[in-house]
Amino acid sequence: PVDGNDGDALMKNADAAMYHAKTAGRNNFQFFDARMNDAALERLSIEHALRQALGRDEFRLHFQPVIDVRSGRVEGVEALVRWQHPERGLLPPGVFIGVAEETGLIQPLGEWVFWAACRQLADFRAAGIDDVRMGINISAVQMRNGNLPVLARGAIEAFSLNPGDLMFEITESVAMEQPDETVRALDVLHDMGVTLALDDFGTGYSSLSYLRMFALDHLKLDRSFVEEIGQDIDGQVICDATIGLAHNLGLRLIAEGVETEAQLAYLKSKGCDLVQGYLFSKPLPADEVLAFIRQRNF
Ligand code: C2E
Ligand code: CA
Ligand code: CA
């Protein structure tokens, strides 16, 4: 009764509490708290600003090199979106991707990312770099709405790209949400020749039988496990086991978030194929990543 003076206010606040309960997962309840309305307002203001940002062309892509463990060469880059906010500066995706997904704005944003990444790949070619793959993160919404193949075909043709040079990264939790749909969607993309990776592996609840059915090329081991190398024996065991799992499924393993020489040495000793992380490079603007590739690959 203290959460509103009339029926309308009580219903509105109960609704906010329900919304929170839903985002916290299944089978739980939440009591209303005034801060929930602040969070809702914050979301609204970000949504409004995101819409404007799309129109004003304020999004940027940075690219993080993916390194071949054995040769040390750059074998690909991952496109990571940033928002060049007029007042707040360069914002990381953690600040806005969630709201973009909730509001459907991830659809136009995802398309922007896709085209910008493909254009960059074509620019790499024009600059004489023709053996580097472009990783693109695919959101749950893009995965579900089914127009990825159309988008991919369009960009491949428009920029005369080799389909295998595009790598779609789908998170484990999104892939396992509707696994039968995922099997079908990945089959279509695989038949087009697009490279496919399961992202953030180890953080979701994978069914191993589905894992086998997904037409994947790579597993990306989540950073949280790499972090534990040399610190926590359980984390280390998971890294080890995941490398084995990937190889037994005929997949290459990419370890994310490699920050130390010790982590690299351990992963290398266990046969990890590819690594990505601050030890080599943070995500960089296009001109800087181009210089990085030139320096390492020639
Ligand atoms: P992700 O796909 O797991 O991307 C890797 C994240 O780890 C990036 O954060 C990257 O900067 C960070 N990272 C890489 N190496 C290291 C390291 O050695 N140490 C640490 N501590 N962090 C490292 P970022 O750029 O903030 O992106 C966060 C997430 O936002 C991404 O996680 C991805 O899920 C999402 N995201 C980014 N760009 C896009 C996009 O274009 N579309 C969609 N749908 N999601 C995106
Ligand atoms: Ca990723
Ligand atoms: Ca990841």
CA 289 vs. chain centroid, Å, equals 19
Q: Pick from 266, 244, 263, 265: which is nearest to 253 by CA? A: 244
Measured in Å, how far apart are the chain's first and last C-alpha atoms? 70
Q: How far away, in angstroms, is 78 Cα from ligand 2 center?
A: 7
Q: How far away, in angstroms, is 79 Cα from ligand 3 center?
A: 12
**Residues measured by CB to lie within 5 Å of ligand 3, the ion:** 199-200, 256
Which ligand is in closest contact with the Cα of 204? 3
- Rounded distance, CA 66 to CA 266, Å? 17
Q: How far away, in angstroms, is 233 Cα from ligand 3 center?
A: 22
Rg (CA), the chain: 21
Both tokens of 270, joined, read 């266990």
Give the residue whose CA is nearest to atom 17 of ligand 1. Answer: 257
Which ligand is in closest contact with the Cα of 222? 3
User: At what angle are helices 106-126 and 148-158 packed, to 10 degrees?
Assistant: 30
Give the residue whose CA is nearest to atom 44 of ligand 1. Answer: 139
CA dist 20 → 7, 13, 14, 34, 193 (Å): 20, 11, 10, 12, 41
Ligand 1 surroundings by CB, under 6 angstroms: 64, 80-81, 92-94, 97, 110, 113, 137, 139, 199-200, 223, 256-259, 276-278, 283
Q: How far away, in angstroms, is 92 Cα from ligand 1 center?
A: 9
Contact assessment for residue 53 and residue 85, using Cβ atoms and an 8 Å cutoff: yes
Spans in the chain with pLDDT lower than 70: 25-26
pTM for this structure? 0.90
Give the residue whose CA is nearest to atom 11 of ligand 1. Answer: 283
Q: Which pLDDT score, from 0 to 100, does residue 39 have? A: 78
Substitution site in 80, 143, 279 for ligand 1 pocket (most atoms within 8 Å of beta carbon)? 80
CA dist 87 → 42, 53, 59 (Å): 16, 12, 14
Tens digit of pLDDT for each residue in 227-270?
999 888 888 899 999 999 999 999 999 999 999 999 999 999 99
Give the residue whose CA is nearest to atom 19 of ligand 1. Answer: 257
Substitution site in 102, 137, 203 for ligand 1 pocket (most atoms within 8 Å of beta carbon)? 137
